[in-house]
Amino acid sequence: MTQAAKSVAIGMNSGAEKSAAPELCWFEEVCKEDVALVGGKCSSLGELINAGVRVPPGFALTTHGYARFMRDAGVSGEIPGMLEGRSHDDLEQLEAASKAIREMIEEHSFAWELEDAVAEYYRKLSVRCMVPAVPVAVRSSATAEDLPGASFAGQQDTYLWIRGVDDLLLHARRCISSLFTARAIAYRIRMGFPHEDVALSVGFQKMANSYTAGVMFTMNPANGDRSVIAIDSNFGFGESVVSGEVTPDHFVVNKVALDILERTICSKEITYTVDAKTQKSVKIETPYERQNVQSLIDEEIIELARMGKAIEKHYGRPMDIEWAVDKDLPAGGNIFILQARPETVWSAKREADAAAAPKATSAMDYILSSLLTGKKVS
């Protein structure tokens, strides 16, 4: 059990010691078992750091910090009544309820001692990174992400290249309020998931000043082939790839030999980057001469595939990974993993196929059932 998790256990076991439950923690203080404390995203980042994967450092506002803020804002007690009886397909009512809830959340400030604690963590992070007011990504990390039978991942907001304590706190509130978008509310109603059972952590992660970024699956997401790794990339931050605003370059790598099997270079018209004057993340038109240029060199593709294999081995299952190549650092140490979560679509399909397959009672039954379900028999 991690130190942060021990503190949670202490808080749960003793009402007098409840204050011992941490409201902030460093990523490296948590692991994949700490989803209840820091959500799926932040617990995964802590797990990767402790496994030796190259991950930008950061810290998290825990679910205890979230719960305290919601109590202070007076929102916790009102939300059930505001959403009671709502239907997942009544978009007009859901939008109205969402707007009211989000305004309540975003207009309320954090308690001053929690603001001071965030400021101190941010100061220490800036010192660690040797960058004054280090730019961070402010990421939502929900406790219900990637649950069996449902995937809540991607329903909450992420904000890029945020600098300064005031902006961190503002965007943390926006992350919290994104737990109550009309889309997120409708999904929970449709899945029969109680709104009060979803909690949120907010991660503050050092930004990689991305030359190139994107996503990687340690399988082929088109057909479920686990013998390959699929990589999508574009210039700038990975937001253009994750959001689907651009058709990215696509590479397929043999997982054993690390040979590049497929290479599709697309016209990439949109790039997310930082504006040097405003120090904000902006969407720009990619210069015409770069739109059809391969966004990753072959050495980076192979290194990414190698990292993907290591992450899949650590988790023991196919993974969905976000990554970036930092242009401020030299080659060989400039590829970072920004997020990793279990792949859900094909994994769920395999589990369903396995459950539907007839149970083998003999060696011949096993061979026949394997042939019928299209499995390789070795």
Percent of the chain at pLDDT > 90 equals 70
The pLDDT assigned to 147 comes to 46
Between CA 220 and CA 157, with CA 306 as vertex, the angle to 5 degrees is 65
User: Under a CB-based contact definition with an 8 Å cutoff, are residues 216 and 233 in contact?
Assistant: no
pLDDT band at 367 (very low <50, low <70, confident <90, very high): low
What is residue 360's predicted lDDT score, i.e. its pLDDT?
A: 54
What is the separation, in whole angstroms, between the first and last Cα of the chain?
39
Residue in 337, 313, 339, 324 with CA at minimum distance from that of residue 40: 339
What's the CA gap between 59 and 118, in Å, rounded? 9
Fold of 210-343: D-amino Acid Aminotransferase; Chain A, domain 1 (3.30.470)
Residue 230 pLDDT:
98
pLDDT at 15 over 50: no
Highest mean pLDDT (candidates 82-96, 153-167, 298-312, 363-377): 298-312
Pick the CATH number of 3-206 from 3.40.718.10, 3.40.50.300, 3.40.50.10210, 3.30.1490.20: 3.30.1490.20
The reply to whether 3-206 and 210-343 are identical in fold is: no
pLDDT in tens, 325-347: 999 999 889 999 999 999 877 76
Which residue from 234, 233, 227, 223 is spatially nearest to 258, judged by alpha carbons?
Answer: 227
As a whole number, mean pLDDT of residues 148-168 equals: 75
- Tell me the helix, strand and coil percentages in the chain, rounded to 5: 45, 20, 35
pLDDT of residue 84: 85
d(CA 311, CA 257): 17
What are the pLDDT digits (tens) for 58-107?
A: 999 999 999 999 998 888 888 888 888 888 888 899 999 999 999 999 99
| Distance, CA of 127 to CA of 319 (rounded, Å) | 32
H or E element: which one contains 247? none
Answer whether 61's CB lies under 8 Å from 24's CB. yes
Residue 4 has pLDDT above 80, yes or no: no
Sequence ranges of the domains in the chain: 3-206, 210-343
**pLDDT digit string (tens) for 131-142?**
999 999 999 998
Whether 311 has a pLDDT exceeding 70, the answer reads yes
pLDDT at position 64 is 97
- pLDDT band per the 50, 70, 90 thresholds, residue 13: very low
Global pTM reads: 0.84
Supply the pLDDT for residue 369. Answer: 58
Render pLDDT for 254-303 as a digit per residue (tens, 0 to 9): 999 999 999 999 999 999 999 989 999 999 999 999 999 999 999 999 99
